[in-house]
Structure 1
Amino acid sequence: MKKGARAAVDHVVVNTLRDMERAAAIFTTLGFTLTPLGRHSLGSINHLMMTPGAYLELVGVPTEGLQRQDVLNSPFGLNGLVFRSEDADKTYALLTKAGVTPSTPTAFSRPVNLGTQVADARFRTVRLPDDLFPAGRVYFCEHLTPQLVWRDEWMTHPNGFRQIEIIRVESPSPERDAARYAVVAGQTPQQTSAGWQVTTIDKIRIEFVAGKTSRFSALGLVFGALDIISAAASATPEVNWRLTEENRAVLTIQSLGLCLECRSASDE
């Protein structure tokens, strides 16, 4: 495969399947600001946890009505990595030229309540083949209405959440998978002491380590400080908070199959 155009990470997806209410309650208790429940025209629902760059998405399916099959077919927990596209048609052409065999662009929308009016947030996505990226869903997203997603009122989190910095992939073939993600991100994979790494144009590290099966295994998040989320996690029965260094900790949400590696921004 040839290298594609350099791409930033748009967002990372946690699949809650039919358990959105509980997942949203846990993240709210931990001090994240969640966007109001969104309902996609394709049959899925979501909440977002925004940053100025890549954001975290909880996705699931509604209890009634149309239910998006690719969400139902996807693993529970951390299962999606989405790159940003400025033009879905150009992205499709570049990926095809690179030998990745993407799906043709798919358009969908969801209504956003702005208080005085309701507007449709519109998107176009280009999916990558599951057999080449078995860890989870990997695709590109073009935001036709970014002003309805990145809004000031959703950017501030009581727990100080600032950014996503690491996405870890376990794989039986970490070198092979790193090479494939590097093609998609338009970067060159680098060997590390733990395995392999691809750093995207927006400085998010996709780390590849050896594992028995292919899966997204952990997410690295940066906070202004860890005191608020530490206190919230310690008071939440469904989560485990383990301090690993002075300004670093691992947050495990067993019920969602999530491992979040948390770092204070002061620990550079």
Structure 2
Amino acid sequence: MSHPGEPGPGVGASASASASASASASASASGLDHAGICTRDGPALWAAFEALGFALTPVARQSGRRTPDGPIEELATGNRCAMLRQGYVELLAILDPARFDNGLGALVDRYPGMHILALTMGDVAGNLARLRRGGLAIPGVAHLERPVDDPAGPRARFSRLPLPDAPEGRVQLIRHETPELLWQERWLHHPNGAATLCGSILVSAQPAESAVRLSRLAGQALEPDPVGGFALPLPDGTRLRILPPEVLGEVLPGVVPPALPFHAGLVLRTADGNAAARRWLAGIAAEGPLGLCVPPERAGGVALVFAP
């Protein structure tokens, strides 16, 4: 006989399984949070994206800790962002080379372009424990903060779990501690119609190794990609593709990797079937296998695909 507050016959096991599944799901990546395009010339990158029809947030200088328990200090870097209804594109620059750049300079020296891939997480402690159980030497939670539009006003705060020593760049799990400060309605309307960050394309000489690293970070299973290589579907409907270089031309014709691994492309979905993007990007973008594609040389080093 069950008592008040206890599960009835046959319910305990399913309830326990449900709770376990819920805990497991929270200790994994739930989606694609943002991608970061990196440069030493912030004004040029920001102007290029405004010319592509993005409405960017104000310039924000970043602060953080060099170690999980270190003091917060102003970093070398600052950004502007193209905030979308789902996800965003970060445009990150080294603004003060005399300060600590958290390894960004070494990444940009490989090639200016996309070096940041951030996946959304909910349970920071659970994900840290999961990754450590998997043998990853993650020292702890990395904290980052920056102002939003007023240096003296509220500061956006983030908790991050970066994948250590990843050849794919700054690949990480992230939780927004102050999402309401970033996803403000005034920044979500873009003349080109971009609304959702729905995928990325990574090219690797060892796609299986890169795919396994991303899968371990996300806590999600891989699938075969239709053109070769691997895909990592995420619960929010976004999709990461990890491809060998010989098939890149099938999805992004004409894109040549400057080095490997190489974050070759981002896929953005528009709210109007690409109507605004076709008008705004006339003479810049061309129709390709995935949609309307802006070449890397016009978008900071990464191909931008506008998908209807």
SS of the equivalent of 1:158 reads coil
In the alignment, what sits opposite 1:261?
305
Match of 1:248 in 2: 291
Judged with a 3 Å threshold, the aligned counterparts in structure 2 of structure 1 residues 77 and 105 are, in CA distance, closer, same or farther, namely same
- Which residue of 189, 196, 206 corresponds with 1:173? 206
Give the AA of the match of 1:152.
Answer: E
Alignment of 1:203-222 (within 5 A): 203-211=237-245, 213-222=260-269
Counterparts of 1:165 and 1:156, CA distance in 2: 17
Residue in 2 that maps onto 1:92: 128
CA RMSD of aligned residues (A): 2.4
Q: CA deviation at 1:87?
A: 4.0
Percentage of pairs with the same residue = 25
Q: Are 1:152 and 2:175 an aligned pair?
A: no
CA displacement at 1:134 relative to structure 2: 1.4
Give 5+ residue unaligned stretches, structure 2.
Answer: 1-24, 65-74, 246-258
CA contact (8 A) 1:7 1:186 kept: no
Structure-2 separation of matches of 1:72 and 1:103: 22
Distance (whole Å) between structure 2 residues aligned to residue 261 and residue 159 of structure 1: 12
Contact preservation (8 Å) 1:15, 1:60: yes
What code does the residue aligned with 2:63 have?
S
- 1:126 pairs with 161, 166, 170, which one? 161
Structure 2 residue aligned with 1:9: 32
Label 1:121 to 1:196 Cα distance change in 2 as closer, same or farther (>3 A).
Answer: same
Matches within 5 A, 1:49-128: 49-63=82-96, 66-75=99-108, 76-113=112-149, 118-128=153-163
Question: One-letter code of the match for 2:294?
Answer: L
Match of 1:182 in 2: 215
In the alignment, is residue 41 of structure 1 matched against residue 56 of structure 2? Answer: no
Deviation at 1:199, TM superposition (A): 0.3
Q: Tell me, which stretches of 5 or more residues in structure 1 are unaligned? A: none
CA distance in 2, matches of 1:126, 1:6: 11
1:21 Cα deviation from its structure 2 partner: 0.5
The one of 280, 285, 288 equivalent to 1:232 is 280
Q: Deviations over 1:117-166 (max 9, x none)?
A: 71111122221122xx3122101222221111111111111111011122
Instruction: Tell me how far 1:46 sits from its aligned partner.
Output: 0.6
Q: Following TM superposition, by how much is the alpha carbon of 1:183 offset from its aligned partner in structure 2, in angstroms?
A: 2.1
Shift of 1:200: 0.8
- Structure 1 pair 228/62, CA: closer, same or farther in 2 (3 Å)? same
Note if contact 1:167-1:219 (Cα within 8 Å) is conserved in structure 2. Answer: yes
Question: How far apart, in 2, do the equivalents of 1:135 and 1:260 lie?
Answer: 19
SS for the counterpart of 1:73 is helix
Moved over 4 A (4+): none
Which string of whole-angstrom CA distances, capped at 9 and with x for unpartnered residues, describes residues 31-89 of structure 1? Answer: 11111111111411011111232211111111465241311121320111111233433
C-alpha separation in 2, matches of 1:142 and 1:215: 25
Alignment CA distance shift 1:200-1:145 (3 Å)? same
Post-superposition Cα deviations, 1:235-254, rounded to whole Å, max 9, x if no partner, equal 6xxxx411236x92211141
SS in 2 for 1:234: coil
The Cα of 1:180 is off from its aligned counterpart by: 2.4
Q: From the two aligned structures, give the one with the greater strand fraction.
A: 1
Give the TM-score of the pair, scaled to structure 1: 0.85
Q: Give the direction of change, closer, same or farther, for the CA distance of 1:139–1:103 in structure 2 (3 Å limit).
A: farther
Counterpart amino acid of residue 207 in structure 1: R
Question: Is contact 2:286–2:294 with CA below 8 Å preserved after alignment?
Answer: yes
1:95 aligned partner, one-letter code = L
* TM-score (normalised: structure 2): 0.75
> Equivalent of 1:198, from 219, 232, 243?
232
Change (3 A) 1:262 1:66: same
Change (3 A) 1:29 1:102: same
**CA distance 1:104–1:160, shift in 2 (3 Å):** same
Which AA in structure 1 matches 2:121?
S
C-alpha separation in 2, matches of 1:6 and 1:40: 24
Deviation, 1:108, is 2.6
Whether the 8 Å contact between 2:173 and 2:217 is mirrored in structure 1 is no
The structure in which a higher percent of residues are helix is 2
Q: Which moved more, 1:220-229 or 1:21-30?
A: 220-229
